[in-house]
Amino acid sequence: MLKPLYAFVLRFPKLLILVVLGLSVFLAAQIPHLRWETDARVYLPKGHPAIRYDEEVDDLFGVKDALIIAVVNDKEGIFNPETLARIDRITRKVAALPGVIARRTIDVASLSTASFFSGTEDAVGTVPLMPRVPKTPEEIARLKRLVYDNAELFVGNIVSADGKAAMIRAKLKEGAANRYMTYWQIRGILAAEEGGGGGWPQGGQWKGQGQWQGGGQWKGQGQWQGGGAPGGAPQGGSGAG
Q: For the chain, give every domain's residue range.
A: 40-174
Residue 2 exposure: Cα atoms within 13 Å on the Cβ side: 1
Categorize the per-residue pLDDT at 36 as very low, low, confident or very high, splitting at 50, 70 and 90: low
* pLDDT at site 58: 67
Amino acid present at 91: T
Mean pLDDT over 90-99 rounds to: 94
Which stretch of DSSP H or E encloses residue 177?
A: helix 176-193
* pLDDT at site 57: 65
Q: Please tell me which of 33-42, 160-169, 174-183, 227-236 the model is most confident about, judged by mean pLDDT.
A: 160-169
Pick from 19-23, 99-103, 206-210: least confident: 206-210
Angle between the N-to-C axes of helices 81-95 and 137-149, in degrees from 0 to 180, rounded to the nearest 10: 70
Q: Which of the pair, 5 or 79, is modelled with greater confidence?
A: 79
Mean pLDDT over 141-167 rounds to: 94
Mean pLDDT over 55-70 rounds to: 72
Q: Please tell me which of 82-91, 190-199, 205-214 the model is most confident about, judged by mean pLDDT.
A: 82-91
* pLDDT at site 237: 30
Categorize the per-residue pLDDT at 81 as very low, low, confident or very high, splitting at 50, 70 and 90: very high
Categorize the per-residue pLDDT at 172 as very low, low, confident or very high, splitting at 50, 70 and 90: confident
- Closest by CA to 202, choosing from 215, 186, 191, is 215
The whole model's pTM is what? 0.61
Whether residue 165 contacts residue 70, with contact meaning beta carbons closer than 8 Å, is answered with: yes
